Structures are given as C-alpha cells and as structure tokens.
Amino acid sequence: ADALFDDAIDALLAFQQLPMQAPLPSYDVALLRRELELFPEWYAGRELGLALNNAQQAMWQRVSTLLIDSALAQPKVLVHRDYMPRNLMQSAPNPGVLDFQDAVYGPVSYDITCLFKDAFLSWPQARVQGWLKLYWQRAQAKGVPVQADFEDFQRASDLMGVQRHLKVIGIFARICHRDGKPRYLADVPRFFAYIDEVIARRPELAELDTLIESLQAAGGARA
C-alpha cells in the first residue's frame, strides 16, 4: 500500500501544480451546500423517514456553515473530486487516473482526504496521518499551496472529509431510494465511522454528533 499511495500522492501533486486556466467551475458555496443537503433530504428524509425539527435544522445549519467556511478558506487547486483507489489504475507511469469529468477548482485538502477515506476499505488513522504528513511535506516542497502548519492542514482535511462523508451518505441513500440499488447502503456505516473519528478530536463538531445521534435514535438507524 505504501508504494501505491506514494505514486498516488505524486500524481495528485502533479495535478495540483497545473495552472488554473481551464474553464472549470469553482467549488463554491452553492455547490458545497447542495452536496451537504443530500444528507437531510435523502438519508434523514428517505432512509430514516424523518424531517428535521426546528432545533435539528438550526444545528444542521450551524454545522453546514462551519464545514463550508472551512472549505472556502482553503487555498484552491485543481480538484478531481473522486480521487480514490478505485479510480486509480496501475500503469506505467503509475497510476492511470479515471473519472475526472467532475473536476473543479477548490480546496487543496479535498482529493488527498478522499484518497484515504475510501468507500470500500478503511485504514488505521495512524497510517492515514502518516500519509497525510508525507503529502503535506511534498506539497510544500513543490510549491502546492497547502497550509503552512500541519495541524491547520489536518483540521482542514478533517472538516473537508466530514463534508464529503455527509454528501456520500446522502448519495448512497438516493441511489437506493431513487434508483433502486440498495446495496450501496451497506457502506454507509463506514462513513459514519469516519465522521465519528473526526468528531472525537474536533470539539467544534459536537453539534453534529448530537444531531446524528438524535436522528438515528428517532429513525432506528443501523449505523
């Protein structure tokens, strides 16, 4: 895994060093919020059969604002948006990168976070942190605009990951209830585990913990 991720990090850094000249959309407030809203609409609304009450809606808006503000505060680079092992093919040079049609300009931490928080395989946090630090060090050396302090970078990565995980949970619920493909729901607990892991070290996400617990208790969720 180390050798493959080593190549994946270098390939990502090559993307992130490209000049932002192509007419691609930006990962703006509207897109970030649209993605987040998949969670209350499809996971809470359709999978759990719940509408957020006023207190839950207020918590959700505060959490959403925190996640969006963190994303928008990050330096911008070319973002693949689905930079995960399933889209990386072994080749020479390694890897070949697939599925980049949704690329945007957006937060520098997005793709590297996506790489290690996979839908199908979880890695121990200690290994993930080591890979993140390796990426951050190489990014600094190559002039990719990462945060100057690793702790700041890791916080940005944590919050960016939570935004993506909430989106993915919503998407998997939508694929089930709109498209009739329930097998994706089997991977939802993995994403809640990723979120729980971040909440445990980010007290600013305490309200998200409260919200998820209240929804799952009311909906009888298995997560």
Q: What is the pLDDT of residues 80-123, one digit of tens each?
A: 987 777 777 777 777 777 767 788 999 999 999 999 998 778 89
Bridge partners for 89 per DSSP: 96
Distance CA 60, CA 33 (A): 11
Give me the DSSP letters along 26-71.
Answer: B--HHHHHHHHTHIIIIIIIIIS-----HHHHHHHHHHHHHHHHHH
- 125 versus 60: the higher-pLDDT residue is 60
Question: Residue 162: which residues within 8 A CB-CB, separation 6 or more?
Answer: 67, 194, 195, 198, 205, 208
Q: Tokens at residue 172, please?
A: 């998997």
Residues contacting 127, CB < 8 A, separation 6+: none
Under a CB-based contact definition with an 8 Å cutoff, are residues 66 and 159 in contact? yes
Q: Which CATH number is 145's domain given?
A: 3.90.1200.10
Domains contained in the chain, number: 1
Question: What integer pLDDT is reported at residue 221 of this predicted model?
Answer: 53
Tokens 């850094």: give the residue: 13
Planar angle of CA 170, 172, 177, nearest 5 degrees: 90
pLDDT digits (tens, 9 = 90+) for 166-185: 999 999 999 999 999 999 99
**Residue scoring higher pLDDT (89 or 41):** 41
Could you tell me the residue range of the domain that residue 117 belongs to?
2-219
Query: Which of 4-13, 78-87, 100-109, 145-154 is predicted most confidently?
Result: 145-154
- pTM, two decimals, is 0.92
What number is the average pLDDT over the span 130-148?
A: 97
Q: Per-residue pLDDT averaged across 5-27, rounded?
A: 90
Between residues 83 and 75, the one the model is more confident about: 75
Distance CA 146, CA 189 (A): 30
Measured between alpha carbons, how far is 160 from 137 in angstroms, rounded to an integer?
A: 19
